[in-house]
Structure 1
């Protein structure tokens, strides 16, 4: 690493790595604090774990590969949710990590393309974080596991940010989060699933008429607002049940009018009642 990279690494460690635990706090600047946050809800809803390995870990949701040169300088960051392509001949795989981020329940991971490549020369902050990640991975020091986990979390978050900012060409969650108006309605659902959302309410949040909102949501996200809302509620409920939560309390927390209504929706979605998930 160069002296500049080491200096940036020290700055990151002192200001962010050990000083903030909220992913939003890690990357948001004061100037952007009032913007609608399209990612933090996913980092609250799903636990993220990292396994450092040269080969993909069985059952991992994704794989992050740092490509660089013989001087261990990071050049590209690759996020793979499918089979990774071979790196360019001039690049070496410096570090690789397998990531678990909620499994098939996480709609954000499911919406990603098979491979995302980020040129670190275009993103100096992400390059500094990646350099810190490489240095931690290649040098055994106290707190290494915690440092790698936090650094990888920020790297993944910033990659996802670039994917969303870049837009999506096919209908789905990424297209919705990239949409200049619809993303506000999606964030409202993610942040407050317990609210009795009506189509009119979500259209108002998006700044659209009801008819315009319904047509645009279906065309962009690929489903209706009510279907997406129910799926998000059930996903949160399933995670809470797996952690031993009580059915009645969970039903209320995620926005169902009653435990019986929740149980019927759960059975339709997963093919078995919520008690099965709670007891498994």
Structure 2
């Protein structure tokens, strides 16, 4: 059986790009607006407060993992942050390569592993649009085991530390996406997969991308009426069923073109009756003909 989440993660090609250990004591706050860099945070010790894009603050506890797949303004602070008008001093660099926030001396109340990851897929923006704005994982045993390994490796100064930590973080990112398929609250592919009825239709779309699907056919796969399926899918995934199918077809088409498949073969595999019909649709979507995309990718 095709796993839509596995396909999306495979195409995204997640990679841990940068990480650092940050400790905090007293009242502290950091405000960021990173452009084009997905952000993640592992709470190694203590607690922290996170607010993303004007949403209500979220209290993070030890063992929690957070991933912001797409750049948004966000604020991290101590559980009791400084006054809103107070200045936010830059983190203090420590001798061991870590950073300190708030009070420079004394034991840390909070220890975080924060950083940026990269999605190496040329079509990352399209795939990220299928994910929730914020992924927050708590209380998952497998994820907790990975967090513990990350915690131990981040503190050790053993040979190969950077490489091991990078691979652990990649696995952590993938496991977080898998866990989120069960708990996703905001619209996106993960929330759609958490709905048993919608998951049936999503799997069928991924299993048989070449089929000329209609909303009525997908509704039958989900054992729902056409109108109920359309509303339920749009609400959960954040886009209409045929819009999702188009996005997925175009993502698959780009992957196949990068592998130098012929335009006719790609057209057949992603559900178009002819190479010319596919070329028109691809050009409208990607801004260039498939033959040009193949040479420039």
**Normalising by structure 1, what TM-score?**
0.69
- Alpha carbons of structure 1 residues 60 and 222: separation in structure 2 relative to 1, 3 Å: closer
Larger Rg, first or second structure (1 or 2): 2
Structure 2 counterparts to residues 209-248 of structure 1, below 5 A: 209-248=225-264
**CA offset at residue 104 of structure 1?**
5.5
**CA offset at residue 274 of structure 1?**
1.4
**CA offset at residue 182 of structure 1?**
1.2
Structure 1 or 2: more helix by fraction: 1
RMSD: 3.4
**CA offset at residue 186 of structure 1?**
1.4
Structure 2 residues without counterparts, runs of 5 or longer: 22-31, 47-60, 80-108
Whole-Å separation in 2 of the counterparts to 1:88 and 1:162: 26
Task: Say which is worse superposed, 228-237 or 107-116, in terms of deviation.
Answer: 107-116
Task: Say which is worse superposed, 122-131 or 213-222, in terms of deviation.
Answer: 213-222
Which of 42, 51, 62 lines up with 1:66 in the alignment? Answer: 42
When the two structures are aligned, how many residues end up with a matched partner?
Answer: 240
CA contact (8 A) 1:61 1:101 kept: no
Q: Which residue of 1 aligns with 2:76?
A: 86
Structure 1 residues without counterparts, runs of 5 or longer: 1-33
Q: Which residue of 1 aligns with 2:224?
A: 208
Runs of 4+ in 1 over 6 A off after TM superposition: none
Indicate the SS of the match to 1:39.
helix
Indicate the SS of the match to 1:66.
strand
Structure 2 counterparts to residues 48-67 of structure 1, below 5 A: 48-54=14-20, 61-67=37-43
Whole-Å separation in 1 of the counterparts to 2:261 and 2:158: 38
Q: Aligned pair 1:134/2:175, yes or no?
A: no
**CA offset at residue 234 of structure 1?**
0.9
Q: Which residue of 1 aligns with 2:128?
A: 109
**Normalising by structure 2, what TM-score?**
0.66
Larger RCO (alpha carbons 8 Å, 6+ apart) = 2
- Alpha carbons of structure 1 residues 146 and 191: separation in structure 2 relative to 1, 3 Å: farther
